Amino acid sequence: MSLSPYLEDLDSKIPAIQVLEALGWTYLPPDEALALRGGRLDQVVLTGILRSWLEEHARFETRGNTYPFSPYSLDEALRRLTTVPFDGLIHTNETIYNLLTLGTSLDETIQGERKGRSLAFIDWVHWERNVFHVTDEFAVERSRAKTTRRPDLVLFVNGIPFVVIECKRRDKDQAGGRPQVKVAIEQLTDYQQPDQIPHLFQFVQVILATSVNDVLFGTVGTPEKFWSRWREQDEDTAAVRTAANHRFSAETHAKLFAPREDEVTTYSAALPYFEDLWSGGERMPTEQDRVLWAMLRPSRLLDYAYGYVLFDAGVRKIARYQQFFAVQETLRRVIVLREGRRQGGVIWHTTGSGKSLTMVMLAKALALHPALTNVRIVLVTDRIDLDKQLWGTFQACGKTAKRAKSGQHLAELIEAGSVPVITTVIDKFETAAKRYKLSDPDPNTFLLVDEGHRSNYAETAALMRQVFPNGCYLAFTGTPLTKKEKNTAARFGGFIHSYPMREAVADGAVVPLLYEGRVAELELQEDTLQRWFERVTRNLSEAQAADLKRRMASEGELSRAEQRLRMIAYDIGEHYRQNIQGTGFKAQLAADSRESAIRYQRFFEEFGVVESAVIMSKPDLRAESQAVKDFWQAMMDRHGSEKHYNDDTLASFSRADGVELLIVIDRLLTGFDEPRNRVLYIDKPLQEHSLLQAIARVNRLYEEKEHGLLIDYRGVLGKLNEAMCTYDSLAEFDPKDVDLTEVLTDVAAEIARLPQLHSDLWGIFKEVKNKQDKEALERHLGPEDVRTDFYAALRAYLKTLAVALGSEIFFAQTPEDRIAQYKRDLKFFVQLRRSVQQRYAEKVDYSAYEQQIRKLMDAHIQSPDVSVITQQVDIFNVNAFQAEVERVEGNAAKADTIASRLKRTITERMDEDPVRYQRFVDLVQQAIDDYRAGRIDEVEYLKRMEGFHAAIVQGQEDAIPAPLRGRRTAQAFFGVVGEVLERYPQHDVDTRTQLAVDMATSIEDLIAVRSIRDWVHNADVQQQMSNAIDDYLFELRDTVGLDLETVDMDAIMERCLDIARKRAHL
């Protein structure tokens, strides 16, 4: 009877043995494997093989001679390895792992001297000196019963169980309703239970589940969610094909297909199938073939098991493929020493993919590499919470690390020279460099810089490089870097390895993210709000009131309206209650300010649906509102300190029964890893790097967490699409684009300009005798053109000084007193600029008015409901996400473009033509329309924007008489005069229009001929202009018969002069 080619043995198990033999594994039939463990089903180490290997290879050296261990010592070594007390599977596995990697010390007496000698169970350095075996149907007696369990394949190194493989047929995925590879994982997980065969897995390093076309790997104790795929980098396809088509040796062929007493595992009936297969020519390699070749080549397996295993707080972890290859490529780069330095680089791995563990694995690999001696690792971050996190990761993984508590402590740790791993915040280098003048030229110091795109700039980064001028700098970042963003890669030495977000999602390293857009509908009490605004701003000039209107009509101010926040809080509470509450998962809410965050928490408490907490960094209480001050004081009263406040809040959030919703502003939107976190509610503008960092807060793996969810109340869909496109563009990055020499040359050239720019800045004040007299300096800046030159010189100086302070070249070449002078002068000139801007009314302090306007907006802007405007869509499903973006952005993108142009146009019109000035309420309503029409019905949004745009364009072009085109000031006067002339109906429309044109051009000419430099601050000149306009308007009675009322003449004169003053600043 012919057999189905999809039987497990034919489809998976025998082909796996075939590949493994090609890779160097010797096949043992089950009966031989049993004999090699003394015929005992409760034993899992093939002691017969291990004893023979130790007899041949276990040696120690003393006084230049090599000696074998005594038979007693070999017996003792076997006893120690095979009788480790069972202390839970993971802890026992860790104990055995340490025995395998570190060896054991045995007393031996040589020439009368008795001392401990180290015995190794595995030769990790010379892989070819070990022996490798594979057996199938490895029967193991259960720990609490006489029945057995039989893993499909077990691989042994020197007789020690190293790998367990469970094989499944590929054709049952659909029929069974669950992928067969998942069934294999369930079986392997079951084997590890206390009443099953955990004593096998206490030795095991790698576990594989295969259904031929789908292969996942894990290690002891790995939950199903964390099993991973292996994607080989630079796969040798010819070698894989050769292994897949390997022919069994005669000995293996005879043993494998021989009749067996156990009918269940008899392969003899399968022989005709394989003979037909082999006679038909080469077969195509499967995913199983590729993974076995990639992971279980003896040299690769030993390298992987030795260097890429961590025990993290009671959890055994092994490297995913991107971590393995990142470390491998880094090692290949840094072991080369050129001119006293090692080339560094950037490891770009998406947030959530295990970047911190990659750093630990790299540190371990650097410390163990035979080509590197006296290695010192310094882990650098830019935030205290990240420093604490990395230090904790090292400690949890059993790697001793010293955390620098202060700049002085960092200096002490560096000077001691005996601390192998230091973690520090980058700011602490300032003390080490400046106060202690440290400079350590050791090229074997490796600085692992977390979030390198942020950490490697400004003065402290330059000081870090001054302390370690020859150190090897390795940056880790999850932030996208495109071709235009060379700086991070260039300063570190180019890219080493990348792992983008989409790849991580495809691999199951992070969960997919679903996006849902919502909007809080707003209603405005227009007339009331307008009247109150005019009352509140009655003491401001027209220009100042217009500026304040623009500020307060912004989307940001509108979004902080109290009733809007209340409605969103209610909506969040209901969404959380219906979808998340009671599942053990948590959520974050990103608010746009401390005050909004506090309001949100108050509303959540009022509704009583979700338990929330606000977490923020210490505010500057001098500049914050009373609500923020009261909140902070309450937190300090409750927790005692900022540290306890943060620690207590995060500890509660990490518990299933603790805080459910964490309200954040900026903190914890980056570098915060809480796997329970499933939903991010967004109510703040985010874009590019900050947006990608924020959404990664909910992409961590966790049991039963199928996806992360983004609920957006701010319309970031378009920005998210742009950010994802930016992120994906890394795939196009060519490391050759990074030319470090070019970058360094540019920096040096920029620094060389600094002395001249410093001199140019002081040159603005060459006419001032006493350069310490601030009053004299401010008066010197009275004329507008002088201030303009000062601002330009200050900007150029500030830009170049910022570049200099971020370069170690600058600190190496410039005396300290000169650097201090540069910095003092910068501070002084910035303060001077601020003072003269206030003095000459270039800036007005609106803070008192803003607070009153916010109260008005809270009272007169209502939010009756929240609507879903974008249904949930997977942002990594390219087609679906792009379709949703097109749906929202297809018309909305056009409308957004028109809207942005309109805002610029209206801003210009505000200064040019007060007749067409948009009232405050119109601007607020426009922002509301952007919310409602732009996101709920983009077709209507586009229609309105096109209509509004057409009206503005028509007003600028078609409705303006030809003589006024190109005369922007005269156009504004035309509107003012035309409005007045409408009150004189004795003249027909055409006559009034022509009169308005003539009057507008004449008034413009009258002002122009009297304009001198800085005339807007010269009362005499303005009076001359007033008199000239007044005389002209009076003469119109005789010249054209226009008898203007005195009040109308005054209105024309005052309004035109006001417009002229505004336009003088353009």
Question: What H or E segment, with its residue span, contains residue 871?
Answer: strand 861-874
Mark whether 256 and 171 lie in a shared domain.
Answer: yes
Specify whether the CB–CB gap between 136 and 6 falls below 8 A: no
Whether the per-residue pLDDT at 289 is higher than 90: the answer is yes
pLDDT at residue 957, rounded to an integer:
47
Instruction: Work out the angle at residue 308's Cα, subtended by the Cα atoms of residues 303 and 314, and round it to the nearest 5 degrees.
Output: 140
**What is the predicted pLDDT for the residue at 952?**
54
Looking at the structure, tell me whether residues 369 and 481 fall in a common domain: yes
User: Which tokens in the block code for residue 752?
Assistant: 């060389």
Quick one: tokens of 463? 């000081």
CA proximity to 13, closest of 160, 230, 208: 208
pLDDT at position 21: 98
β-pairing, 421-425 vs 26-28, is: unpaired
Residue 126 shares a structural domain with residue 65: yes
**Domain assignment of residue 846, yes or no:** no
- Both 742 and 727 in one domain: the answer is no
pLDDT digits (tens, 9 = 90+) for 995-1013: 999 999 999 989 888 887 6
Residue 946 sits in the same domain as residue 983: no
Predicted pLDDT at 897? 44
Token pair 């994906």 in the structure block, residue: 728
DSSP code at position 129:
G
Counting the structural domains of the chain, the total is 6
Helix (H, G, I), strand (E, B) or coil at 279: helix
Residues 178 and 141 in one domain: yes
DSSP code of 282?
P
- Pair of tokens at residue 706: 């199928």
* Claim to verify: residue 576 and residue 634 sit in the same structural domain: yes
Q: How far is CA 738 from CA 222, 481, 483, 484, 574, in A?
A: 39, 12, 9, 10, 50
Does residue 314 belong to any structural domain of this protein?
Answer: no
Sign of dihedral through CA atoms 312, 314, 320, 325? positive
pLDDT digits 0-9 by tens, 1010-1023: 887 677 777 778 88
Kindly indicate the confidence band of residue 401, based on its pLDDT and cuts at 50, 70 and 90: confident
pLDDT at 26: 97
- Whether residue 857 is contained in a domain is answered as no
Report yes or no on 871 lying in a domain.
no
**Same structural domain, 687 and 835:** no
The answer on 709 and 660 residing in a single domain is yes
**Which of 732, 751, 773 lies at the terminal end of a domain, its last residue?**
732
Query: Is 278 within a domain?
Result: yes
Tell me: do 619 and 697 sit in the same domain: yes
| 597 and 706 part of one domain | yes
- 472's CB contacts (< 8 A; 6+ apart) are 334, 341, 342, 343, 344, 443, 445, 446, 447
Note whether 77 and 206 are same-domain residues.
yes
Domain boundary among 239, 270, 300: 300
Distance CA(377)–CA(400), nearest Å, equals 11
| pLDDT score at 526 | 60
Tell me if 865 is assigned to some domain: no
pTM of the model: 0.71
Radius of gyration of the CA atoms of the chain, in A: 38
- Per the domain annotation, does 943 fall within a domain? yes
Residue 618: name the closest of 631, 603, 627 by CA.
Answer: 631
Phi, psi values for residue 496, rounded to 5°: -110, -50
CATH number at residue 547: 3.40.50.300
pLDDT digits (tens, 9 = 90+) for 785-842: 888 888 888 888 887 887 777 666 777 778 888 888 888 888 888 888 878 876 776 6
- Tell me what the mean pLDDT of segment 149-169 comes to: 96
In sequence order, what DSSP letters do the residues of 76-87 get, joined into one string?
A: HHHHHHHTPPP-
Checking 325-332 for CB contacts under 8 A at 24+ apart, the result is: 325/233, 325/497, 326/358, 326/362, 326/496, 326/497, 326/499, 327/358, 327/361, 327/362, 327/365, 329/496, 329/497, 330/362, 330/365, 330/474, 330/496, 330/497, 331/365, 331/366, 331/369
Q: Which of 414, 314, 399, 416 is nearest to 356 (CA)?
A: 399
CA distance 953 to 868: 34
483-494 per-position pLDDT tens digit: 444 555 666 777
pLDDT band at 86 (very low <50, low <70, confident <90, very high): very high
Picking from 732, 758, 788, the residue at the C-terminal end of a domain is 732
Residue with tokens 């392969």: 267
At 239 the pLDDT is 95
Asked whether residue 67 carries a pLDDT value surpassing 70, the answer given is yes
Residue type at 940? E
Angstrom distance (rounded) from CA 952 to CA 901: 11
How far apart, in whole angstroms, are the C-alpha atoms of residue 213 and residue 172?
A: 12
Domain limits for position 527: 518-732
Q: Is 498 a member of any domain?
A: yes
**Alpha-carbon span 724 to 712, nearest angstrom:** 16
Please report the DSSP string for 11-58 in residue order.
IIIHHHHHHHHHHTPEEE-HHHHHHTTTT-TT--S-HHHHHHHHHHH-
